[in-house]
């Protein structure tokens, strides 16, 4: 099999992996090839609008496991291939020299057993790091069930490691991925957290102590293949951030590939809006000081499809608004819909020098479309804007959203009485219509 | 600027360099001539106003530069230096007003985001830094003999901002990036780099086996997209069409190849 064909098979098999970030570590060049930037660098964008930062491939798509949702499961009849460690290393270098990529993302199907697979992956990474002196970004998956010794070796070679938790609950995992267990996912995850702490301590003591996975660890789970609520998923992410100090939790809208009675039918559309809402909420957890319990609750366990989580929260907590931009603490500015980390920082900078009014906010590049219903400047609201829950709800629900869900203005202003599940059905229907037009 | 008793209104003409601009600032204070515009020699057009030819004098430039750092701090000096690379129209006038205000206000001028001159420069600067960051990813090299070469067509002068990143990244690998908009070339080998003005440049022929690597890259690019998530608008937001002509993955025999059927 030639390289061209191999690359096609192993890229196709890897494309459902979400993580493509190259951020989290800033490392200058060492005279050899490569450096990394803390912000991460995107190199291209594919036709689905997702960024391409790393050469994302599987080492092999031969797999012993039979996970229901996976295209590479052993019971599927798909073309199989495997790189040799050298082929993969050479390809990475060739692409890197031309600035096509920021580094390598390596994952794999399970050959023989998890340890054997990891050893093969380590070989490829070793060639890159030790033989070619490659100093760029590498992200490696840890195969569930890998022994701790191999995790330690891999973690010292690469920038980021990740173990996929695959599904948001143990029941779903047992049902859909019978070869994987909760323990052999969480053990490596815990090992990585522990190893990172050890490495941090050692770096204080010894000058040349190796840095274990400097860009931290991440994970991903599939959304929409099983029954968990948004609240459950969000609480799980929060626990992962708190307990395992994860850098990122990625969500992947389920795209049906296999006809399996355990899974949604093959003509189900990927729940893209739900995935989007989860990411919005994930940002609120990581950068805005929110807790999962503020965003959703047991009773209200699914996201509002018409409004983003922050707007939704603000409308349910109108007693905290309006916020005076000139005096409000930074944390409160962050909670205003339409004002993000950049905007809040800019306001804090500017108000040290002069009073900020609405014109000033515009000059700073703050978009008032959503923020206007929640702020005052020098004690005054924006001209012609009333600060009121009903009015704001109506204005914040865009016309296109109303069209999509066939909701009338009256229904929107009484959002709490409106049946959310009904909205979701409508949304899916609308999505289907749109897909037909696109294809 | 009103409190300086300027007798007449003129157009400053300078050589287009940052030092030249600093000399304009020097002239503003010492010759008490209020400029209505500051133009570089290259895009100078005659008008009814009188012209003042500002000669670049390194002594004067140094004094202004020193004063800026002294009164406003290094952050402002760096900000102004970078603003000079932006594609903002009449950037020299905005920068002059910034300096004048800055001498009065001090280091805090950079935070006066509600001031229209500051905010205009701030936006232009943000445009520049965003574009430079995009180009960290969107420069595409090809191999020509032993050198890796690339061509870019940015709106701002991004080369000074991305030069160190690439020099640092490629170690001993010699490379060149040609900026066709500003007719500048970044050449680098080892730890050193230099940005030179070039009149006209002919891009060298690519090596014979380069086509194979580009083909592999295109294959990767096409395969990585998920058909069910096809979203060309989103791609366009991040990677507008103006970048496409220099990206091998976007070069197709026909446009259709980039649409849904081929994902």
Q: Where does residue B145 rank: exposed (0-12), middle (13-18), buried (19+ CB within 10 A)?
A: exposed
In this structure, the answer to whether residues B33 and B101 fall within a common structural domain is yes
Residues B241 and B190 in one domain: no
Tell me if A50 and B229 make a contact (CB, 8 A cut-off). yes
A6 touches chain B (CB under 8 A): no
Q: Please report which residue ranges of A161-301 form alpha helices under DSSP H.
A: 170-176, 182-205, 230-244, 272-287, 292-295
Residue contacts between A and B (CB atoms, under 8 Å): 177
Decide if A33 and B171 are in contact by the 8 Å CB cutoff: yes
Q: Which domain holds residue B75?
A: 9-120
What pLDDT does residue A265 have?
A: 86
Q: Report how far residue A201's alpha carbon sits from residue A189's, in angstroms, rounded to the nearest whole number.
A: 19
Query: Are A3 and B216 in contact (CB < 8 Å)?
Result: yes
CB contact under 8 A, B137 and A53: yes
Residues B83 and B106 in one domain: yes
Which H or E run includes A349? Answer: helix A341-353
| Tokens representing residue B86 in the block | 């932006």
Domain shared by B247 and B144, yes or no: no
Q: In sequence order, which residues have a C-beta less than 8 Å from that of residue A142 and are 6 or more positions away?
A: A118, A151, A154, A161, A162, A163, A188, A192
The CA distance from B4 to B35, in Å, is 12
Measured distance CA(A98)–CA(B147) in Å, rounded? 11
For residues B148 and B186, membership in a common domain is answered with yes
A211 near A203, Cβ under 8 Å? yes
Residue whose token pair is 């890229």: A11
Contacts of A363 in chain B (CB under 8 A): 113-116, 119
Residue of B nearest to A362 (CA): B114
Half-sphere exposure of A27 (CA within 13 A, CB side): 23
Regions of chain B where pLDDT drops below 50: 1-5
**Mean pLDDT over the full length of chain B:** 91
Structural contact between residues A122 and A161, judged by C-beta atoms closer than 8 angstroms:
no
Whether B41 is covered by a domain: the verdict is yes
Give A418-427's long-range contacts (Cβ < 8 A, gap of 24+).
A420/A302, A420/A304, A420/A305, A421/A302, A423/A305, A423/A306, A424/A302, A424/A305, A427/A273, A427/A305
Nearest residue of chain B to residue A358 (CA atoms): B114
Give the orientation angle of helix A230-244 with respect to helix A182-205, to 10 degrees: 30
Residue B192 belongs to some domain of the structure: yes
Pairing label, strands B147-152, B175-179: parallel
Q: Which pLDDT does position B165 carry in this prediction?
A: 95
CB contact under 8 A, A45 and B238: yes
Specify the pLDDT at position A32.
Answer: 84
What is the predicted pLDDT for the residue at B3?
46
B188 and B216 share one domain: no
Partner-chain contact B111 A352, CB within 8 Å: yes
CA distance A361 to A370: 13
> A139-148: string of b/e by CB count within 10 Å (b at 16+)?
bbbbbbbbee
Chain B residues with CB-CB distance to A45 below 8 A = 234-235, 238-239
Please tell me whether the interface predicted TM-score (ipTM) of this complex is above 0.85: yes
Average pLDDT for runs of 10 along chain A of length 439: 93 89 87 89 94 96 93 93 95 96 96 94 96 95 94 95 93 92 92 94 90 94 92 96 95 90 86 94 96 93 90 93 96 96 96 94 93 94 88 78 63 53 54 44
Q: Does B116 lie in the same domain as B60?
A: yes
Spell out which residues of chain B touch residue A348, defining contact as CB-CB under 8 Å. Answer: none
Predicted local confidence at residue A58, as pLDDT: 96
CA distance B113 to A351: 9
Q: Is the peptide bond before A322 cis (omega within 30 degrees of 0)?
A: yes
Q: How many residues are recorded in chain A? A: 439
Which H or E run contains A396?
helix A389-396
Q: Which residue has the tokens 């000139």?
A: A326
Residues B97 and B14 in one domain: yes
How far is the first Cα of chain B from the last one, in angstroms, to the nearest whole number? 59
- Cα A370–chain centre separation: 24
CB contact under 8 A, A46 and B213: no
* Residue pair A42/A92 in contact by the 8 Å Cβ criterion: no
Taking CA atoms, A95 is separated from A49, A331, B64, B221, B246, in Å, by 21, 43, 46, 12, 16
Distance CA B21, CA B55 (A): 10
CB-based contact A346 B231, cutoff 8 Å = no
Rounded Cα distance, A168 and A163, in Å: 13
Q: Which residue of A has its CA nearest to B248?
A: A100
Q: Do A33 and B169 touch (CB under 8 A)?
A: yes
* Chain A environment of B113 (Cβ under 8 Å): 346, 349-350, 353, 360, 363-364
Strand partners, A220: A250
Taking the Cβ of residue B44 and every Cβ of chain A, the question of whether any pair is shorter than 8 Å is answered with no
As for how many domains chain B has, the answer is 3
Closest alpha carbon within chain B to A91: B213
Q: At what angle do helices A148-157 and A114-126 cross, to 10 degrees?
A: 20
- Domain A3-295 in CATH 2.60.40.1260: no
State the DSSP H helix or E strand holding residue A400, giving kind and residue range, or none if neither: helix A399-405
Give yes or no for a contact between A49 and B238, defined as CB atoms under 8 angstroms apart: yes
Check residue B185 and give its pLDDT.
96
Mutation target to probe the A interface, by most A beta carbons within 10 A, among B72, B114, B145 is: B114
Q: Is B111 in CB contact (< 8 Å) with chain A?
A: yes
Closest residue in A to B249 (Cα–Cα): A44
| A267 touching chain B per CB within 8 A | no
CA B120, CA A22: separation in Å to the nearest integer? 32
Judge: B224–A52 Cβ closer than 8 Å, yes or no: yes
Residues of A in contact with B221 (CB under 8 A): 44, 46, 52
Judgement on whether residues B146 and B98 belong to the same structural domain of the protein: no
Cα separations in angstroms, A12 against A8, A9, A57: 6, 5, 8
Distances (CA, A) of A96 to A10, A49, A104: 18, 22, 9
Rounded Cα distance between A102 and B55, Å, is 45
Question: With an 8 Å Cβ cutoff, are A91 and B216 in contact?
Answer: yes
State whether B225 and A50 contact (CB < 8 Å).
Answer: yes
Residues 230 through 249 of chain B touching chain A, CB cutoff 8 Å: 230-235, 237-239, 247, 249
Which pLDDT score is estimated for B262? 54
DSSP string of chain B, one letter each residue: -TTS----EEEEEE-SSHHHHHHHHHHHHHT--EEEEEEEGGG----SSEEEE----HHHHHHHHHHHHHHH-HHHHHHHHHHTTS--TTHHHHHHHHHHHHHHH-GGGGG-TTSHHHHHHHHHHHHHHHHHHHHHHH---EEETTEEEEEE--SS--HHHHHHHHHHHHTT--EEEEETTTTEEEEEETTEEEEEE-S---PPPPPTTHHHHHHHHHHHHHHHS-GGG--HHHHHHHS-GGGGGG-GGG--SSGGGGSGGG-
What is the reported pLDDT for A18?
A: 86
In whole angstroms, give the CA distance from residue B54 to residue B22.
10
What is the rounded distance in angstroms from the CA atom of residue B128 to the CA atom of residue B134? 10
Mutation target to probe the A interface, by most A beta carbons within 10 A, among B148, B173, B216 is: B216
Q: What backbone phi and psi angles, to 5 degrees, belong to A395? A: -70, -30
Quote the minimal CA–CA distance from A378 to chain B in Å: 14
pTM of the entire structure?
Answer: 0.89
Distance between CA atoms of B238 and B228, rounded to whole angstroms? Answer: 20
Distance CA A412, CA A410 (A): 5
Q: Give the domain ranges of chain A.
A: 3-295, 309-438
Separation in Å, CA A109 to CA A112, A114, A163, A169, B191: 10, 9, 13, 22, 41
Q: Looking at chain B from residue 55 to 94, which residues have their Cβ under 8 Å from any Cβ of chain A?
A: none
Nearest to A34 among B169, B227, B247 (CB): B169
């Amino acid at each position: 099999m030639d390289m061209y064909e191999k690359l096609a098979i192993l890229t196709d098999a890897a494309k459902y992996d979400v993580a493509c970030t190259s951020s989290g570590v800033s490392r200058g060049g060492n005279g050899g090839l490569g450096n990394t930037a803390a912000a991460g660098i995107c190199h291209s964008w594919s036709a689905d609008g997702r960024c391409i930062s790393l050469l994302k491939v599987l080492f092999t798509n031969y797999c012993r496991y039979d996970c229901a949702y996976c295209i590479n499961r052993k019971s599927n009849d798909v073309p199989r291939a495997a790189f040799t460690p050298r082929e993969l290393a050479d390809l990475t270098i060739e692409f890197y020299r031309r600035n096509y990529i920021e580094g390598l993302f390596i994952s794999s199907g399970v050959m023989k057993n998890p340890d054997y697979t990891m050893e093969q992956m380590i070989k490829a990474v070793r060639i890159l790091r030790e033989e070619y002196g490659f100093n760029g970004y590498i992200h490696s998956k840890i195969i569930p069930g890998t022994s701790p010794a191999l995790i330690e070796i891999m973690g010292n070679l690469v920038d980021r490691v990740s173990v996929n938790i695959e599904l948001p609950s143990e029941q779903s995992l047992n049902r859909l991925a019978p070869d994987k267990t909760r323990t052999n996912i969480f053990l490596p995850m815990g090992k990585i957290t522990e190893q990172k702490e050890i490495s941090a301590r050692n770096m204080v003591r010894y000058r040349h102590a190796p840095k274990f996975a400097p860009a931290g660890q991440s994970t991903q789970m599939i959304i929409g293949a099983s029954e968990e609520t948004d609240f459950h998923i969000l609480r799980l992410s929060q626990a992962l951030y708190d307990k395992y100090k994860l850098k990122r939790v990625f969500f992947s809208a389920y795209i049906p590939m296999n006809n399996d009675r355990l899974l949604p039918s093959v003509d189900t559309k990927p729940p893209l809006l739900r995935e989007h809402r989860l990411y919005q909420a994930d940002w609120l957890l990581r950068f805005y000081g929110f807790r999962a319990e503020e965003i959703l609750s047991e009773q209200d366990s699914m996201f509002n499809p018409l409004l983003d989580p922050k707007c939704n929260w603000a409308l349910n907590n109108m007693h905290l608004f309006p916020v005076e931009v000139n005096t409000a603490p930074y944390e409160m500015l962050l909670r205003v819909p339409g004002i993000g980390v950049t905007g809040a920082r800019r306001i804090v900078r500017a108000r040290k020098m002069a009073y900020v009014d609405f014109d000033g906010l515009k000059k700073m590049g703050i978009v008032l479309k959503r923020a206007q219903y929640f702020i005052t400047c020098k004690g005054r609201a924006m001209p012609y804007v009333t600060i009121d829950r009903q009015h704001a709800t109506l204005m914040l629900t865009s016309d296109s959203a109303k069209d999509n869900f066939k909701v009338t203005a009256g229904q929107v202003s009484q959002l709490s009485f409106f049946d959310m599940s009904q909205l979701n059905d409508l949304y899916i229907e609308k999505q289907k219509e749109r897909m037909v037009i696109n294809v | 600027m009103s409190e300086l008793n300027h007798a007449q209104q003129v157009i400053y003409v300078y050589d287009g360099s940052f030092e030249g601009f600093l000399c304009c600032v020097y002239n503003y204070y010492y010759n008490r001539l209020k400029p209505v515009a500051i133009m570089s020699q290259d895009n100078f057009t005659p008008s009814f106003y009188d012209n003042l030819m500002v000669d670049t004098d390194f002594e004067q430039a140094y004094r202004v530069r020193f004063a800026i750092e002294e009164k406003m701090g290094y952050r402002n000096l760096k900000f102004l230096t970078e603003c000079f690379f932006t594609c903002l129209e009449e950037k020299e006038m905005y920068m002059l007003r910034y300096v004048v205000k800055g001498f009065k206000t001090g280091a805090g001028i950079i935070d006066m985001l509600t001031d229209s001159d500051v905010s205009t420069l701030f936006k232009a600067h943000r445009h520049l830094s965003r574009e430079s960051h995009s180009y960290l990813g969107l420069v595409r090299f090809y191999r020509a003999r032993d050198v890796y070469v690339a061509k870019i067509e940015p709106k701002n002068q991004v080369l000074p901002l991305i030069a160190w990143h690439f020099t640092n990244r490629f170690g001993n690998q010699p490379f060149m990036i040609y900026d066709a908009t500003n007719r500048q070339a970044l050449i680098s080998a080892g730890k050193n780099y230099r940005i030179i003005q070039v009149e006209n440049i002919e891009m060298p022929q690519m090596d014979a086996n380069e086509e194979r690597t580009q083909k592999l890259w295109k294959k990767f690019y096409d395969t990585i997209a998920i058909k069910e998530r096809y979203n060309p608008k989103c791609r366009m937001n991040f990677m507008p069409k103006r970048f496409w002509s220099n990206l091998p993955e976007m070069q197709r025999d026909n446009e259709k190849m980039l649409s849904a059927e081929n994902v």
